[in-house]
């Protein structure tokens, strides 16, 4: 490996970690929107809460999503040209994330990254470089995930309202204010596991393309040569979450619907359940989920009641 190839690999890894940081910044609203809009936590406290649980996610979930990301395009081990393909794809995703953050849009960083990789790969070697079945599987969930999220959110809020309809609203709100701390923590764990793993997959792909890793290399906490990848990606996304995406918080937490603690609890529980299924089954994606899940959770099924 010559000096230029080594520099290119290191530079691409740094850019990938920057994407991870921006991803955390961009998606911070998804982690804290419900808990802030229900006034369970102040924004700063909520961001710190989310960042901590983002970081510890690697202790709970295996690197399934990372494996999916690294298999989107066919990479020739030892061919540094593929490092450039990955680099351009990540840069495209970063630019899109910055634009949508500026516009206050809660878009998917995962799909931005996948689109960037596909576009750069096609420009380099055409359709033959793509793993079409893997891509079509991911594309299908762009449309399926919001629908499943809406159904789960509606189910949880209906179940809670039906089960607890004879309880006093004031008591329930006190209970669910505490419950939201747990549900928000669970959601942040799912967010950290799902999103940080995208960058892990990118870094593994870069190291394979650079000839440092074999094509069969898998991430593991028990091997130092991959442990640093896991820890650096989890730290980067946590740091990004800590910075927070304040422009998107306003859209996600107040403009879509008004939430009470019971609604926020239901939304976060539904998102966590859906994200966990995706992580274990190597699927994407949950940053599109908060909008469709928050919506049914904010709609009062029992209109005569006032959940104040």
Instruction: For residue 232, give both structure tokens.
Output: 């650096």
Q: Is the predicted pLDDT of residue 91 greater than 70, yes or no?
A: yes
Give, in degrees to the nearest 5, the angle at Cα 147 between 40 and 307: 30
Confidence (pLDDT) at 9: 93
Confidence of residue 268 (pLDDT cuts 50, 70, 90): low
Confidence (pLDDT) at 265: 60
> Residue 101 and residue 112: Cα distance in Å, rounded?
13
> Residue 290 and residue 267: Cα distance in Å, rounded?
7
Higher-pLDDT residue of 81 and 106 is 81
Confidence (pLDDT) at 90: 94
Q: What is the DSSP letter of 255?
A: I
Q: Is the predicted pLDDT of residue 303 greater than 50, yes or no?
A: no
Query: What's the pLDDT tens digit per position in 144-158?
Result: 877 877 787 778 777
Average pLDDT, the chain: 77
Mention every residue, 6+ apart, whose C-beta is less than 8 A from residue 77. Answer: 208, 209, 211, 213, 214, 215
Confidence (pLDDT) at 256: 45
Q: Out of 10-14, 47-51, 202-206, 287-291, give the one with best mean pLDDT.
A: 10-14
Higher-pLDDT residue of 116 and 305 is 116
Confidence (pLDDT) at 259: 55
Report which of 167, 170, 206 is spatially closest to residue 70, judged by C-alpha positions: 206
Domain boundaries, given as residue ranges, for the chain: 3-298
Q: For the chain, report the end-to-end CA distance as a whole number of angstroms.
A: 65
How confident is the model over 48-60, as a mean pLDDT? Answer: 89
What are the Cα distances from residue 25, in Å, to 202, 236, 250?
Answer: 19, 10, 14
Instruction: For residue 164, give both structure tokens.
Output: 């607890």
Q: Is the predicted pLDDT of residue 262 greater than 60, yes or no?
A: no
Assess contact for 268 and 34: CB atoms under 8 A: yes
Confidence (pLDDT) at 275: 53
Report which of 29, 24, 32, 27 is spatially closest to residue 264, judged by C-alpha positions: 32
């Amino acid at each position: 490996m010559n000096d230029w190839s080594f520099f290119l690999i290191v530079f691409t890894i740094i850019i990938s970690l920057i994407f991870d940081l921006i991803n955390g910044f961009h998606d911070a609203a998804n982690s804290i929107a419900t808990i802030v809009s229900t006034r369970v936590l102040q924004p700063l406290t909520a961001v710190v809460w989310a960042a901590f649980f983002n970081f510890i996610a690697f202790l709970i979930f295996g690197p399934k999503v990372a494996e999916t990301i690294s298999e989107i395009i066919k990479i020739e081990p030892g061919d540094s040209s593929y490092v450039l393909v990955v680099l351009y794809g990540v840069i495209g995703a970063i630019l899109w994330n910055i634009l949508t953050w500026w516009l206050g849009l809660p878009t998917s960083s995962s799909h931005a990254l996948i689109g960037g990789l596909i576009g750069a790969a096609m420009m380099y070697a055409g359709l033959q470089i793509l793993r079409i079945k893997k891509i079509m599987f991911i594309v299908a969930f762009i449309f399926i995930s919001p629908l499943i999220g809406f159904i789960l959110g509606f189910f949880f809020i209906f179940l809670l309202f039906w089960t607890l309809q004879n309880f006093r609203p004031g008591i329930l709100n006190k209970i669910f204010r505490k419950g939201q701390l747990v549900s928000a923590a669970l959601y942040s764990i799912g967010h950290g596991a799902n999103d940080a793993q995208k960058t892990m997959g990118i870094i593994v792909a870069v190291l394979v393309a650079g000839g440092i890793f074999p094509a069969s290399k898998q991430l593991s906490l028990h091997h130092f040569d991959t442990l640093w990848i896991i820890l650096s990606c989890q730290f980067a996304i946590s740091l990004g979450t800590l910075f927070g995406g304040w422009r998107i918080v306003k859209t996600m937490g107040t403009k879509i619907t008004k939430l009470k603690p019971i609604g926020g609890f239901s939304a976060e529980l539904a998102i966590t359940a859906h994200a966990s299924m995706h992580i274990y089954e190597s699927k994407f994606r949950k940053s599109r989920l908060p909008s469709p899940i928050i919506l049914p959770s904010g709609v009062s099924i029992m209109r005569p009641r006032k959940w104040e």
